Amino acid sequence: MTYDRLVCANCASPVSEGRCPVCRARRRTQPEGPLAGLTPAALIALLIALVAVAAVAHQVTA
């Protein structure tokens, strides 16, 4: 489930709209940054790709 589809139990509206104090508090706790929107599977794939690039770079310099 994505953040855009969360429904507030307090006001029954989408949390992304921030209609009540509970919604606004939840919006402030959302992670921010360049990697915040990536899924765990995408982060694992990125990590594997970085390890592969490091291994190839090590092979070239050796």
Is pTM, for the whole model, over 0.95? no
Q: What is the pLDDT of residue 29?
A: 63
Along the 62 residues of the chain, how does pLDDT read in single tens digits? Answer: 555 678 888 888 888 788 888 887 776 666 667 777 778 899 899 999 999 999 999 998 86
- What's the CA angle centered on 1, arms 34 and 19, to 5 degrees? 85
Q: By the 8 A CB rule, do 4 and 13 touch?
A: no
